[in-house]
């Protein structure tokens, strides 16, 4: 497993360097205003009253906007301005490809995720710190195969806002039409960094058929934003099985299409005594819904 350990260390190094860079960025806030005619302006408010406000922008100077013409007004951070372009908030900030992180859905936010048609999952923010979800793998579509279903409760707690979060949760499932077919995993995790650039480590214990695993599943994942619409992803797992260690390392990306996300990874299984090289492409699509 020496190769796997080296690769995981490189993953930690890469995302740590980018986290350090992200932490020194200026977090001072600006305002983004969208008017009813579809124009958007970013700047600081110089003055305002009940009828209008004066916005100081970088390119246009001071402009006056009537309140009756304002569709939305939201605060943004100066760090979101890159080369004069406003980078929108990460619309898929609570997970990597499959693994969750320490950030949670806000109340009223949700998403639906599909991986290769078979994996169908949704999650919804009950509060800013608690979400609930569920899913189905519809094997009944294929010659009446047994169908796994599951629920996914999760909690998240910000320790230092936008820098350090902890969380935990579970995947609890069963297979319809089977007896003694319960399965799942319970986990706890820590996430270091912002919603746009972070690294997470988690420990989880799985169970199946009423038996719990003797050793934890270790997950190390990272995400880093490189442009307004593209992120680098890495999701990696390690598990001791008897006297042997097995793992999965993966690298890929996330492409934001409007607010939806297309995720793609190349997953590489690694095990003691494994002679052949296998790389498995994974593709997933996520659509947000609710108040995000």
pLDDT at 57: 83
Q: What is the CATH number of domain 1-87?
A: 2.30.30.100
pLDDT at 3: 57
Q: How many other CB atoms are there within 10 angstroms of residue 137's CB atom?
A: 20
Report d(CA 99, CA 116) in Å as an integer.
Answer: 16
Q: What percent of the chain has pLDDT over 70?
A: 87
Among 73-82, 181-190, 244-253, 272-281, which stretch is predicted with the lowest mean pLDDT?
A: 73-82
Contact 96, 233 (CB under 8 A): yes
Instruction: Using the structure block, give the residue that is written with the tokens 């409007």.
Output: 258
Q: Is the pLDDT of residue 170 over 80?
A: yes
- Give 238: exposed, middle or buried? Use CB within 10 Å, 0-12, 13-18, 19+: buried
- The vertex-177 CA angle with 210 and 149, nearest 5°, equals 70
Q: What's the pLDDT tens digit per position in 98-140?
A: 999 999 999 999 999 999 888 999 999 999 999 999 999 988 7
- Any bridge partners for residue 54, and if so which? 47, 64
Torsion angle, alpha carbons of 251, 254, 255, 259, to 10: 170
- Check if 1-87 and 93-290 are the same fold: no
pLDDT at 79: 67
**Bridge-based pairing state of the strands 70-77 and 29-35:** antiparallel
Q: What's the pLDDT tens digit per position in 3-57?
A: 555 555 556 555 665 655 555 444 556 888 889 988 888 888 888 888 898 988 8
Q: Which CATH superfamily is domain 93-290 in?
A: monomeric porin ompg (2.40.160.40)
What are the domain boundaries of the chain?
Answer: 1-87, 93-290
pTM of this prediction? 0.78
19 membership: H or E segment, kind and range: helix 2-23
């Amino acid at each position: 497993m020496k190769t796997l350990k080296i690769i995981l260390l490189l993953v930690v190094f890469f995302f740590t360097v980018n986290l350090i860079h992200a932490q020194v960025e200026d977090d001072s806030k600006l305002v983004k205003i969208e008017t009813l005619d579809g124009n958007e302006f970013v700047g600081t408010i110089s003055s305002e009253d009940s009828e209008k406000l004066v916005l100081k922008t970088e390119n246009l100077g001071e402009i006056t906007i009537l309140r009756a013409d304002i569709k939305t007004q939201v605060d943004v951070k100066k760090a979101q301005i890159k080369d004069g372009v406003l980078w929108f908030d990460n619309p898929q900030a609570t997970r990597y490809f499959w693994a969750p992180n320490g950030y949670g859905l806000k109340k009223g936010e949700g998403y639906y995720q599909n991986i290769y048609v078979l994996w169908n999952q949704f999650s919804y923010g009950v509060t800013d710190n608690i979400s609930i979800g569920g899913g189905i793998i519809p094997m009944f579509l294929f010659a009446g195969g047994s169908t796994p279903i599951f629920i996914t409760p999760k909690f998240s707690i910000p320790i230092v806002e936008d820098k350090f979060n902890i969380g935990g949760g579970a995947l609890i499932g069963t297979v319809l039409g089977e007896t003694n077919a319960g399965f799942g995993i319970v986990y706890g995790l820590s996430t270091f960094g912002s919603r746009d650039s972070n690294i997470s480590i988690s420990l989880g214990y799985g169970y199946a058929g009423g038996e719990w695993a003797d050793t934890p599943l270790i997950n190390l994942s990272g995400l880093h934003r490189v442009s307004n619409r593209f992120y680098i992803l890495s999701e990696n797992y390690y598990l001791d099985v008897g006297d042997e260690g097995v793992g999965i390392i993966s690298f890929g990306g996330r492409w934001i299409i409007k607010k939806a996300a297309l995720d793609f990874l190349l997953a590489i299984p690694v095990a003691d005594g494994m002679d052949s090289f296998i790389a498995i492409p994974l593709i997933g699509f996520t659509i947000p819904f609710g108040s995000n």
